[in-house]
Structure 1
């Protein structure tokens, strides 16, 4: 039997903080406990925010914590063709459509809808897509694209769910409401999620399932803030014919006011804590690993 494969996948858009350290250490320890492999993936598809100096800092901080990983490191920006191929496959199934509304236009549409009552929101609290781009004809879409109009490629969630039977996943950790074991997936709660944009052929949802499948990741250890997104990931895995990993969602490390940590918080940044004299053992104590 092949050894289990784990991965830690930060974005180089800021310095790592205690929450990243906790997740990376959990992945590292799970790999050690099970005789598995640990991969490092750099999720750098956001070219406007990701910087080489942050990527270099990730390697430095992880090594300081005593974490080792297999080489080579997968950098998403070097594998856009993989995501484009997956998107093309979904498009061939008739499950992808371009939507041309700007963020400001979407906000106006939501406000108009809410004149008749609350508009549904996804598990992260964002309003579901309120537009009607699905109803545009092929000619109208082609004309808008040819005109150079910006657009987002969205998943037709209703149609996509008709292609998948009842979805679930194996939860080895714990969800926000203590969900464990076999958890039913509810991708409909997210509406027509964005899979790509005009300027880049992928999104977090699409790239993460493609990467995990190509890298053979068998257990995904990540924070509870991504628990509900697993519903979308399971749907995409089924639509693309990808394998089903197990999931292990862990508690979040929060600030003194109970908020999820941000990369802008200097009080919990690993580099700032290290400069203040905190040791790797001290980091383990701060995140509750003893």
Structure 2
């Protein structure tokens, strides 16, 4: 059975890009007689606004989607701690006290997620007065797993190569886990068999496939869909104030009709779908 999920973070209202992503996941599951899950990813510290989870549910209902809700990330902290402990016991995590500014001040080496961390703290003594993040030693992890492959429904089989991220953070200074660790563990716990998300997260799947192998987790398939972009070629984003679904809903717009137009590729004025597999090596 196909199991998909939509996993928004309550740090801002949903916009049309979220609507499109939820519709893709919903429809792929429904077409195969599968299950569509809603998971609230609410461990982003002070940025998480619990009241938004209710807005998200109203938005999905307004779009005409049906879902099963699974436990929010805030109920799963013990699993993140246990997984980080397992990786640390394998000698694959190390503490890092570098700030973002310190990393960006180094000679630039850019990757899929911005400036690549050069491993400054990998073999350095840890300053106990500075709270650390915990990074995955990518080279050591890849040496342990050997060659790996992940499969995307659109791009086919992809050889795993997470080096474009450098040594990623799996346990943040300000949160129980990073996206890479939490989402990977949650998808396994929820029985997700097809991870659906935008092409902007295509490269992240290299990291997630590696973590799955290290922790002995089941391996899903992936479906990375195109993004809604504006006239300037920018993807819709909460931080840029993209118009919210709640505003459209409260203005009396027909959500089900909007969902049907999105399914047919009929984008609202000023928006279009990206037509590329950005991030595919």
TM-score scaled by length of structure 1: 0.86
Give the structure 1 partner of residue 205 of structure 2. Answer: 230
Distance 2:61 2:240 in 1: 21
Which residue is 1:120 aligned to?
A: 109
For residue 118 of structure 2, the aligned residue among 113, 116, 130 is 130
- The CA RMSD measured in Å over matched residues stands at 1.7
Aligned to 2:104: 107
The alignment of Structure 1 onto Structure 2 pairs a total of residues equal to 265
Matched, 1:79 2:68: no
Report the 3-state secondary structure (helix = DSSP H, G, I; strand = E; otherwise coil) of the residue aligned with 1:268. Answer: coil
Q: Distance in 1 between matches of 2:171 and 2:52?
A: 24
Please identify runs of 4+ aligned residues in structure 1 that moved more than 6 A: none
Aligned-pair CA distance for 1:96: 0.3
Residues 275 and 266 of structure 1: CA distance in aligned 2, closer, same or farther (over 3 Å)? farther
Partner residue in 2 for 1:166: 147
Q: Equivalent residues in 2 for 1:150-229 (5 A)?
A: 150-173=131-154, 180-229=155-204
Q: Is the 8 A contact 2:5 2:39 kept in 1?
A: yes
Task: Determine if contact 2:118/2:166 at 8 Å carries over to the other structure.
Answer: no
2:260 counterpart residue number? 284
Distance 2:253 2:136 in 1: 46
Task: Show the counterpart of 2:91.
Answer: 94
Shift of 1:215: 0.9
Distance 2:98 2:30 in 1: 48
* 1:53 Cα offset (Å): 1.8
Q: TM-score, normalised by structure 2?
A: 0.89
The 2-side partners of 1:267 and 1:102 are apart by 29
Q: Deviations over 1:226-265 (max 9, x none)?
A: 1011000011011111111000000001112110101255
Aligned mate of 1:23, from 21, 24, 28: 21
Q: Which has the larger radius of gyration?
A: 1
1:268 Cα deviation from its structure 2 partner = 3.3
Give CA deviations for 1:98-128 in whole Å, capped at 9, x if unaligned. Answer: 01122222223x1xxx3xxxx321113x111
Distance 1:130 1:201, change over 3 A: same
Q: Within 2, Cα distance between the matches of 1:100 and 1:267?
A: 34
Whole-angstrom CA distance in 2 between matches of 1:172 and 1:268: 30
